[in-house]
Amino acid sequence: MIVGLSIIFICLLLGEGVAHVLSLPIPGNVIGMVILTTALMLGIVRLEQVKPVADGLLKYLALLFVPPGVGLLLYGEVLKASWLAIGVSLVVSTVIVLGTVGLLQQYLERRRHE
């Protein structure tokens, strides 16, 4: 547990360091994810060292979005004033993205198998 957490936090720290030094528009946690994958591929980190902690964190991934979601309270007025524009574009855009990625990926996979 402590080993897994240490590894994850070291990757996060390195990721944040890289993002800061190179002033990248990508946040440190995403770079940390790439660092962890690379460390696993290079054998610097073993799967069984991080797997239990990673599984635990990912099991509750959705819960972590609750506090910023409750923050919607602060934007009641803005959202009320533009609810149609925001609502319609969110729903339509989300459906289009789901369809584009899902169908395109499936098409490319099938074409390759034929």
Partner 1 sequence: MNEILTSPTFAIATTLVTYWAAQKIYERWNFPFLNPVLITILALMGLLKGLQIPYERYEAGGQYISFWLGPAVVALGVPLYQHMETIKKRGIAISCSILAGSIIGILTAAGLAGLLGASDLIIISMAPKSATTPIAMGIVEKLQGIPSLTAAIVVITGVLGAVIGPFVLRCLGVVSPTAFGLAMGAAAHGLGTARALEEGETQGAMSGLALCVNGIMTAIFTPILLKVLLAAFNNLNP
* Binding residues among 10-39 for partner 1 as defined by CB under 8 A: 11-12, 15, 25-30, 32-37
Query: What is the DSSP secondary structure assignment for residue 46, as one 8-state letter?
Result: -
> Which residues ranging from 36 to 95 are in contact with partner 1 (CB under 8 A)?
36-37, 40-41, 47, 50-51, 53-55, 57-75, 78-79, 82, 84-86, 88-95
CA angle 16, 17, 22 (to 5 degrees): 105
Cα–Cα distance for residue pair 98/91, rounded to 1 Å? 11
Q: Could you identify the residue written with the tokens 């009641």?
A: 76
Q: How far is the CB of 60 from partner 1 (least distance, A)?
A: 8
Check residue 112 for interaction with partner 1 (CB under 8 A).
Answer: yes
